[in-house]
């Protein structure tokens, strides 16, 4: 496929890797934020290709992983209501709540359905007016415009049986929290290319200036990521701390204005809990008060559902880049993708799941 | 989750006030909402995420960057650091 296959070219990848190894005078510590990028790095063995020239640590950018436990519990509670059809992206179904997951609730007869797009959920609400259709709206800035559009569409259609369970998170507040930590080791960031496609690069320039840290907007194929790593290493070797865009075929400086407008109309910024990490101020989105009729938490009175996370899981350390998945004593034994203890083992984009799939040979279980 | 895939717009339609496109991903065709890319025309490539096009692929940028990347691949090969070299170093 055009704009995809050519960015998997082995010759180019090896050329870039050679250039990175040549330029790097010490093992720079770099973090990719997005779980999709983590997956590519592991799948194509980019960490191994770079040897000791760069240490890659993996950030908190998997929305499935960071959706707080209590939000999963709320989705589970909704899915058990006889009048509710709980609609979700497929990868949320196996995420463990305090007691169970959506997959098991579905098996027990709960009406849980998987869709590719939030507009499919709106369509479902339109066809089945007797059902309360709740869409589990998780995601980063990339997905927020689509969710905003679903609400606007439902409003236009006059639907009173459609609502969102919103668990939206924002990337820059999480980067800020990482950089403010006294334990931070990260010297450069690969910014998530599709998040930046929507929001642009302005906020990342503020971070680069404030913390004197280089940030390169990166794509999702091996060549994209190697190019982003190369630009970061060049900046670090030259003592620069700027924002560069290695994913210019999709990312414009100001982002996508039409998508931003839809988000601004429907959502507002709020404090948000991240699973494994805790609450980060102004790190999430919620529906504005004028869209309260589409807010499942209010419609079904779920605000009081709270939950404590299991203590054995070290996901906070992994999501903040302090530890690697294999440092966890439960990795691959008490915690596997089939029976995950914590969120990063759940989603295929979670760091623990990526290591479990591609790097298990390195651990003696 | 933030996955977006490039596809080519084969046809644009207006559906109840929503601008949608039939977008080709290799051999597979899917409908995508084009409301966020009002500038998109038939034949353009768009990045599609959960059924919404979030950008039009910038052809010139893509070609310019790719030529640069390609030259690095060639350079790597000339320096003898292709696939073989990478593994042994």
Note whether A219 and A145 are same-domain residues. yes
Tell me the pLDDT tens digit for each residue of A286-316.
999 999 999 999 999 997 888 887 778 888 8
**What pLDDT, on the 0 to 100 scale, is given for residue B83?**
44
Note whether A275 and A344 are same-domain residues. no
A212 burial (CB, 10 Å; 0-12 / 13-18 / 19+) is exposed
Provide, as residue numbers in chain B, all residues whose Cβ is less than 8 Å from the Cβ of A21.
Answer: 89
**What pLDDT, on the 0 to 100 scale, is given for residue B77?**
63
Note whether A33 and A167 are same-domain residues. yes
Which is more confident, A122 or B74? A122
Tell me the pLDDT tens digit for each residue of A214-232.
999 999 999 999 999 999 9
Q: Which of A14, A21, A153 sits opposite B83 (nearest CB)?
A: A14
Min Cα distance B62 → chain A (Å) is: 5
Note whether A279 and A223 are same-domain residues. yes
Tell me the pLDDT tens digit for each residue of A158-211.
999 999 999 999 999 999 999 999 999 999 999 999 999 999 999 999 999 999
Provide, as residue numbers in chain B, all residues whose Cβ is less than 8 Å from the Cβ of A145.
Answer: 36, 52, 54
For testing contact with chain B, the best of A17, A22, A34, A250 (most B CBs within 10 A): A250
Note whether A92 and A196 are same-domain residues. yes
Note whether A298 and A324 are same-domain residues. no
**What pLDDT, on the 0 to 100 scale, is given for residue A104?**
95
Cβ neighbours of residue A210 closer than 8 Å, sequence gap 6 or more: none
Note whether A326 and A228 are same-domain residues. no
How is residue A52 written in tokens?
Answer: 């000791």
| Residue A147 domain boundaries | 1-311
Share of chain A above pLDDT 90, in %: 76
Note whether A352 and A304 are same-domain residues. no
Tell me the pLDDT tens digit for each residue of A30-80.
999 999 999 999 999 999 999 899 999 998 888 888 899 999 999 999 999
Q: Where are the domains of chain B?
A: 1-57, 58-89
The CATH number of B1-57, from 3.30.390.50, 2.40.110.10, 2.30.30.140, 3.90.1300.10, is 2.30.30.140
Query: Number of structural domains, chain A?
Result: 2
Distance in angstroms (rounded) separating the CA atoms of residues A356 and B19? 42
Note whether A186 and A54 are same-domain residues. yes
Cross-chain Cβ contact A116/B33 below 8 Å: no
Cross-chain Cβ contact B36/A145 below 8 Å: yes
Work out the average pLDDT over B49-64.
93
Note whether A206 and A272 are same-domain residues. yes
How is residue B19 written in tokens?
Answer: 């601008």
Provide, as residue numbers in chain A, all residues whose Cβ is less than 8 Å from the Cβ of B65.
Answer: 227, 246, 248-249
pTM to 2 decimal places: 0.92
Using DSSP's 3-state secondary structure scheme, residue A260 falls into: helix
Domain boundary among A294, A311, A328: A311
Model ipTM?
Answer: 0.92
Q: Is B74 on the interface with A (CB under 8 A)?
A: yes
**Residue in A closest to B26 by C-alpha:** A1
Q: How confident is the model at residue B80 (pLDDT cuts 50, 70, 90)?
A: low
Q: The domain that contains A144 carries what CATH number?
A: 3.40.50.11740
Cross-chain Cβ contact B49/A143 below 8 Å: yes
Work out the average pLDDT over A350-360.
88
Cross-chain Cβ contact A140/B3 below 8 Å: no
Q: Which of A64, A118, A256 sits opposite B54 (nearest CB)?
A: A256
Provide, as residue numbers in chain A, all residues whose Cβ is less than 8 Å from the Cβ of B72.
Answer: 12, 15-16, 19
For residue A178, what are the CA distances in angstroms to A175, A269, A285? 5, 20, 20
Q: How confident is the model at residue A264 (pLDDT cuts 50, 70, 90)?
A: very high
């Amino acid at each position: 496929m055009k704009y995809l296959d050519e960015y998997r070219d082995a010759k180019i990848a090896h050329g870039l890797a050679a250039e990175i190894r040549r330029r790097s005078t010490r093992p720079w510590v770099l973090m990719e934020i997005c779980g999709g990028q983590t997956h590519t790095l592991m799948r194509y063995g980019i960490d191994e290709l770079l040897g000791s020239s760069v240490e890659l640590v993996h950030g908190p950018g998997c929305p499935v992983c960071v959706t707080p436990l209590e939000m999963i519990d709320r989705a589970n509670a909704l899915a058990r209501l006889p009048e509710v059809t709980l609609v979700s992206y497929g990868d949320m179904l196996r995420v463990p709540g305090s007691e169970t997951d959506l997959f098991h609730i579905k098996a027990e007869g709960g009406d849980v359905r998987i869709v590719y797009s939030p507009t499919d959920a709106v369509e479902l609400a339109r066809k089945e007016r007797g059902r309360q259709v709740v869409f589990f709206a998780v995601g980063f800035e990339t997905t927020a415009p689509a969710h905003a559009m679903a609400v606007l569409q439902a409003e236009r259609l006059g639907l009173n049986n459609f609502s969102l369970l919103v668990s939206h998170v924002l990337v820059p507040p999480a980067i800020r929290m990482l950089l403010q930590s006294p334990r931070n080791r990260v010297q450069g960031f690969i910014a998530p290319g599709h998040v930046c496609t929507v929001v642009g690069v302005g906020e990342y320039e503020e971070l680069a200036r404030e913390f004197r840290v280089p940030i390169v907007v990166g794509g999702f194929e091996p060549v994209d990521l190697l190019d982003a790593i190369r630009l970061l290493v060049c900046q670090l070797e030259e003592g620069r701390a700027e924002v560069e865009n290695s994913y210019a075929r999709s990312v414009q400086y100001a982002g996508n204005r039409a998508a931003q407008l839809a988000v601004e109309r429907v959502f507002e910024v709020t404090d948000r809990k991240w699973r494994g990490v805790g609450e980060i101020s102004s790190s999430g989105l919620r529906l504005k008060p004028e869209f309260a009729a589409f807010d499942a938490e209010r419609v079904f009175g779920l605000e009081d559902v709270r939950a404590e996370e299991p203590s054995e899981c070290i996901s906070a350390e992994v999501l903040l880049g302090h530890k690697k998945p294999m440092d966890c004593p439960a990795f691959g034994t008490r915690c596997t993708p089939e029976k995950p203890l914590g969120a990063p083992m759940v989603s295929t984009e979670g760091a623990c799941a990526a290591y479990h799939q591609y790097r298990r040979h390195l651990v003696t279980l | 989750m933030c996955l977006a895939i490039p596809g080519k717009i084969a046809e644009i339609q207006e559906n109840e006030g929503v601008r949608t496109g039939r977008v080709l991903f290799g051999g597979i065709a899917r409908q995508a909402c084009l409301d966020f890319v009002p500038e998109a025309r038939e034949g353009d490539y768009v990045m599609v995420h959960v059924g919404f096009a979030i950008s039009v692929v910038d052809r010139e940028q893509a070609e310019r960057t790719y030529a640069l990347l390609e030259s690095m691949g060639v350079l790597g090969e000339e320096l003898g650091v292709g696939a073989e070299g990478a593994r042994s170093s």
